[in-house]
Structure 1
Amino acid sequence: MKRRGPEWATIFPDREVLAVVRSVPAAGRLLDVTSLLADDRIGVTFTVTPGSASESGVEPLLRAAGVEDIVPWEEAVEEPRHLALAASGKGDLHRLDTPLVLMPHGAGHNRRVGESPGSLEAASGLDPAELSHEGEPIAARFLFSHREQLERLHRSFPAARGRGVVVGDPAFDRMLAAAGRRDRYREALDVGGRRLVVVSSTWNRGSLLGARRDLIRDLLAELPYDEYRVALVAHPNVWQSRGRSQLELWLSEEIEAGLVLIPPSEGWRAALTASDVVVGDVGSVTYYAAALGRPVLLAAFDTDDIDPGSPLLEFGAALPRLTSGGVADQVDRVLRSPIAPVADLLIEHHGGSAARLRSVLYSLLSLPEPGRAAYYPPLPDLEPCPDDVTAWRVAAEITTAGPEAELRLRRHPSAAPGRAPARAATRPLVVDAEDTVVPRWDAADAWSRRRARTERDAGAWAKERVNAHPRARVAVASTGPRSALLVHRRGAAMRVHDERSQEDERPLDASLVAAAAVAWARREETWRAWHRGVTVHVGDRVLRLRGSRPSPEFDLLEEP
């Protein structure tokens, strides 16, 4: 888009600020920081310095955030401004004829990554090779989240003394401020009464995705569907290397099994805020999760390029590791364990970065600060991510000794067989009417239809399913918020009502009734027990199902 000249302007700012974006993570940090410059006296222009692995995602991210004023890099270096901001030391920043403020784009400065991994002597963002030109510092101010980073800067680059300021961490503070929005983020992710497991992966071969690719499949296979939801936060470089389409192809089985892919630019902070437990690696997102007080399991922690002076090594030593096998037990254990106190390792001034940052920026702009308090805008809402699992393998424990039968169900997405597909295949398969994987329809042991229809329509559909798929023993179709019709392949049926407490407002899920019914059918138990009432435990739900006589076109289901 061609820039308009000043004759098109309506508001004429007194100061001009240039935000220099190197990568998608850097863009996120600069959008955080420029939100503090909400002032008629200040105009903000963005430019993109080339060379990042995620460069192709930068401009779309900025456009999505409402940024229209993006000038080419070669034009930007020719036009002096009052102040420049950058969140990466790479990209020939010395060419700017403008005072520069340089800051990290993640949780501190930890990795020695230059043009190739490990090429710097100190952590990226603290190495003189990045921070100087002809021996002189390239920035008027170097901003840090913790004093230990300032001390490492002084050791590695004495010429920068007097230019460093500890301000805290904007990304962390925005998550702290969003704590009260946790429920709305969980609603967008369709978590319900489940626990949200966020898997966090940085990029390269030592990352979680690079080193333990099968872990996501194992989590989906081993964590009960009705107790856990799993989401993946992958570094923007993972997305940009081959594109969203390729990533979705690689993860197609996991997505079918319920995995939520969190967008690479915005969304990761909302996902962390919504999370109950995080499985991660050496990336900043994993540290932020632990700093927020979330239980964290480290599944990969490659230290080859970590600065030996970085507190990230202490962080890695303080957290439990996720080993192979028994993934569900390890997740459950960390949820019940004390939280490691790591928030102060890389971040100071919790909740105070907005005020400190704004003070630095206005001082360099020679402007008095606005009278209102400094704060960041709310995190953007997550786009709704409805759960779309439509087929489950069912494990059941049935007790019939007492006055009422009890079933304890655990369902697992059929698309995630994990490391023991043969054992999983022995469990009954429930397939929903909305399932689109035609090859597995004939393997269905039970069918469900979760969208309510009249009893006549429900009966016609159920009969058609059991007739068309000879393996199916039962079909269950919803007929209302707390009722369903259960049809056996022999032609008998019964109405099923949920008589649980009215305090649980969630509608009766026909797929849960189908899971209970097919487990019961496999036991060859009499269906008369359902007439007295059957209690079903699944996830955080307790259903009390009672069968009654169906419409005259069906016989009452009583015998096995």
Structure 2
Amino acid sequence: MRHGTENTPRTAAVAAVAAGDDRGQWLTLPGCKRVLVVVHTEVYGRRLGDLLPLLTADLRLQVYFTIAPHAFNAGAARAVPGPLPDGSVLPWEQALRMRFDLVLAAGSQGVHGLRGPLLRLPHGAGHMKLSRLADGRDPGAARTVGGLGRRYLVRDGRVVPRALALAHHDDLARLRRICPEALPVAEVVGDATYDRIVTSLPLRPRYRAALGVRRGQKLVVVSSTWGTGSAFNRLDALLPRLLTELPAAEYRIAVLVHPNVWSWHGIWQVRSWLATAERRGIAVVPPDTDWRSLIIAADWVLGDHGSVTLYSTLTQAAVLLARFPADDVDPASPGAELAVLAPALTPSDALPEQLAYARAARPATGYDRIARRISSEPGRAGRNTRRLMYRLLGLGEPAREPSLPVVPLPAALWDTGRNQVPA
């Protein structure tokens, strides 16, 4: 398991900072405030990446990155901006010895050892999942809501984050119930992923064309989170059905696998498991692809209890549940509500009929109500989060409106030969 970048070359600037010398004769901009972005996993890193545009073009800031210890950090480097290895990442051990003016993290492991005001952010939608049954950090403890329980927020009787960013006001009520001592540092800012998806919805035709979905074709996205309760454990039965029952000329099928699966089992192994389906025309989406373009482009999302399924309620896609382990989901979460409203795939009925049913039933499913439970600050995550970050930094905000970019165009999953991306 790789915790840092000890075996990669470092830029002179990073080497100097790691040695404690970042104010000497070599600097062009001395005296910058130090911001550390802590990347535990690829998923966590990409969530933090949504916020980086809020810190760009400010000559008062120097942003550093580090890869923190985590069971799934094998793919974390893919979430660090820029080509790697280029020496731009502080080794974890060096980051622990330095002092920062702001630390951004979406995970909890090891962050208590960092020096500087910590801003903790959510790493998924809706705080759906319950903590694991076996957790080495707190053995024997009762299960709690992932990311909000004491095991994630308190260390040696002290609340670790200086600020805890939440997406929805409902999260405050849950926090009051399971970790009330963290309430004073909690602040509802909204959800940057929510905002980027909504802003990008008008680009749906461009995403479909870029992926290689031809006019008149339908796109089915099969999404799986990680773990034993995920849809991945049913793919051996589901993918052959999709290939057999859905005409290839009419349907495009893509499989979106959680980066933690790729990280733990390895890229070769996951592709090996899915090789037969891929040879027969199902696209296996690479782990570094921005999944948001897929669900915006989709006509159906066949998912589970992962965040991708919940975010799909913001799009035009009809959601069907291929798997939903209710015992692993907080019953008060929007994901649990979605499981009651969304149709569930059945093994006995024909897939085209189930897809048609889900499409016809979509207007009555209450997706809008579920979507409102993801963020109580729609369109304002950039504004609210930047305000919070600069408050922690002790700086005035830049005199420009904060903005989050639209989701980028994806690389083609299918070669149509003549399919062009509209201007």
Query: What TM-score range do you get, normalising by the shorter chain?
Result: 0.7 to 0.9
Q: In structure 1, what is the equivalent of residue 175 of structure 2?
A: 153
Matched residue SS, 2:320:
strand
Q: 1:336 aligns with which of 343, 357, 360?
A: 360
Structure 2 CA distance, aligned partners of 1:42 and 1:64?
A: 18
Structure 1 residues 369 and 226, CA gap change in structure 2 (3 angstroms): same
Matched residue SS, 1:101:
strand
1:33 aligns with 2:51: yes
Q: Quick check: 1:207–1:282 contact (8 Å CA) kept in 2?
A: yes
Letter in 1 for 2:192: P
Q: Deviations over 1:375-394 (max 9, x none)?
A: 11232331222248xxxxxx
Letter in 2 for 1:266: T
Q: In structure 1, what is the equivalent of residue 134 of structure 2?
A: 116
Range with greater deviation from structure 2 (106-115 or 150-159): 106-115
Q: Quick check: 1:198–1:278 contact (8 Å CA) kept in 2?
A: yes
Letter in 1 for 2:210: A
Q: Quick check: 2:298–2:316 contact (8 Å CA) kept in 1?
A: no
Tell me the CA shift for residue 163 of structure 1. Answer: 1.0
Structure 2 CA distance, aligned partners of 1:36 and 1:217?
A: 44
Tell me the CA shift for residue 68 of structure 1. Answer: 5.2
Structure 1 residues 68 and 115, CA gap change in structure 2 (3 angstroms): farther
Q: Deviations over 1:177-216 (max 9, x none)?
A: 2223222221222101201111110112211111453212
Letter in 1 for 2:354: Q
Q: 2:79 aligns with which of 54, 58, 61?
A: 61
Matched residue SS, 2:10:
coil
Q: Deviations over 1:33-56 (max 9, x none)?
A: 122111221111111111222x11
Letter in 2 for 1:379: V
1:271-310 matched pairs, under 5 angstroms: 271-310=294-333
Q: 1:322 aligns with which of 340, 345, 354?
A: 345
Letter in 2 for 1:205: T
Structure 1 CA distance, aligned partners of 2:362 and 2:132?
A: 37
1:2 aligns with 2:10: yes
1:192-231 matched pairs, under 5 angstroms: 192-193=214-215, 194-231=217-254
Structure 2 CA distance, aligned partners of 1:386 and 1:8?
A: 49
Q: In structure 2, what is the equivalent of residue 237 of structure 1?
A: 260
Matched residue SS, 2:97:
coil
Tell me the CA shift for residue 120 of structure 1. Answer: 4.9
Q: In structure 1, what is the equivalent of residue 156 of structure 2?
A: 134
Structure 1 CA distance, aligned partners of 2:30 and 2:61?
A: 9
Structure 1 CA distance, aligned partners of 2:123 and 2:221?
A: 21
Structure 2 CA distance, aligned partners of 1:356 and 1:266?
A: 27
Matched residue SS, 1:178:
helix
Structure 1 CA distance, aligned partners of 2:88 and 2:334?
A: 38
- TM-score by structure 2 length? 0.86
Q: In structure 2, what is the equivalent of residue 44 of structure 1?
A: 63
Computing the radius of gyration from Cα coordinates, the structure with the larger value is: 1
Structure 2 CA distance, aligned partners of 1:108 and 1:65?
A: 32
Name whichever structure is richer in helix by fraction.
2
Matched residue SS, 2:373:
helix
Structure 2 CA distance, aligned partners of 1:308 and 1:122?
A: 11
Structure 1 CA distance, aligned partners of 2:299 and 2:275?
A: 24
Structure 1 CA distance, aligned partners of 2:121 and 2:28?
A: 32
Q: Deviations over 1:76-100 (max 9, x none)?
A: 11111101011012x1211112110
Q: Quick check: 1:212–1:300 contact (8 Å CA) kept in 2?
A: no
Structure 1 CA distance, aligned partners of 2:87 and 2:209?
A: 32
Q: 2:278 aligns with which of 247, 251, 255?
A: 255
Tell me the CA shift for residue 10 of structure 1. Answer: 3.2
Q: Quick check: 1:34–1:44 contact (8 Å CA) kept in 2?
A: no
Q: In structure 2, what is the equivalent of residue 442 of structure 1?
A: none
1:356 aligns with 2:387: no
Tell me the CA shift for residue 277 of structure 1. Answer: 1.2
Q: In structure 1, what is the equivalent of residue 201 of structure 2?
A: 179
Tell me the CA shift for residue 293 of structure 1. Answer: 4.3
Letter in 2 for 1:170: A
Structure 1 CA distance, aligned partners of 2:317 and 2:172?
A: 27
Q: Quick check: 1:200–1:234 contact (8 Å CA) kept in 2?
A: yes
Tell me the CA shift for residue 228 of structure 1. Answer: 1.1
Matched residue SS, 1:263:
coil
Tell me the CA shift for residue 358 of structure 1. Answer: 0.6
Q: Quick check: 2:226–2:261 contact (8 Å CA) kept in 1?
A: yes
Q: In structure 2, what is the equivalent of residue 165 of structure 1?
A: 187
Structure 2 CA distance, aligned partners of 1:195 and 1:35?
A: 34
For structure 2, the residue ranges without an aligned partner over 5 or more in a row are 1-8, 17-21
Q: Quick check: 1:22–1:49 contact (8 Å CA) kept in 2?
A: yes
Q: In structure 1, what is the equivalent of residue 101 of structure 2?
A: 82
Tell me the CA shift for residue 122 of structure 1. Answer: 1.4
Q: Quick check: 2:10–2:89 contact (8 Å CA) kept in 1?
A: no
Structure 1 residues 258 and 120, CA gap change in structure 2 (3 angstroms): farther
Alignment: residue pair count: 389
1:345 aligns with 2:373: yes
Letter in 1 for 2:10: K
Q: In structure 1, what is the equivalent of residue 39 of structure 2?
A: 21
- Which contiguous aligned blocks of 4+ residues in structure 1 show a shift greater than 4 angstroms? 63-68, 117-120
Tell me the CA shift for residue 19 of structure 1. Answer: 0.9
Matched residue SS, 1:371:
coil
Q: 2:122 aligns with which of 96, 99, 104?
A: 104
Name whichever structure is richer in strand by fraction.
1
Structure 1 CA distance, aligned partners of 2:290 and 2:188?
A: 27
Structure 2 CA distance, aligned partners of 1:200 and 1:164?
A: 31
Structure 2 CA distance, aligned partners of 1:72 and 1:234?
A: 29
Q: Quick check: 2:218–2:250 contact (8 Å CA) kept in 1?
A: yes
Q: Quick check: 2:165–2:186 contact (8 Å CA) kept in 1?
A: yes
Structure 2 CA distance, aligned partners of 1:115 and 1:83?
A: 33
Q: In structure 1, what is the equivalent of residue 89 of structure 2?
A: 70
Structure 2 CA distance, aligned partners of 1:199 and 1:44?
A: 36
Q: Quick check: 1:292–1:343 contact (8 Å CA) kept in 2?
A: no
Structure 2 CA distance, aligned partners of 1:218 and 1:190?
A: 22
Q: Quick check: 1:170–1:353 contact (8 Å CA) kept in 2?
A: yes
Matched residue SS, 2:403:
coil
Structure 1 residues 258 and 387, CA gap change in structure 2 (3 angstroms): farther
Matched residue SS, 1:16:
strand
For structure 1, the residue ranges without an aligned partner over 5 or more in a row are 389-450, 452-504, 507-560
Q: 1:384 aligns with which of 407, 412, 415?
A: 412
Structure 2 CA distance, aligned partners of 1:267 and 1:220?
A: 25
Q: Quick check: 2:168–2:188 contact (8 Å CA) kept in 1?
A: yes
Structure 2 CA distance, aligned partners of 1:65 and 1:309?
A: 41
Q: Quick check: 1:114–1:120 contact (8 Å CA) kept in 2?
A: no
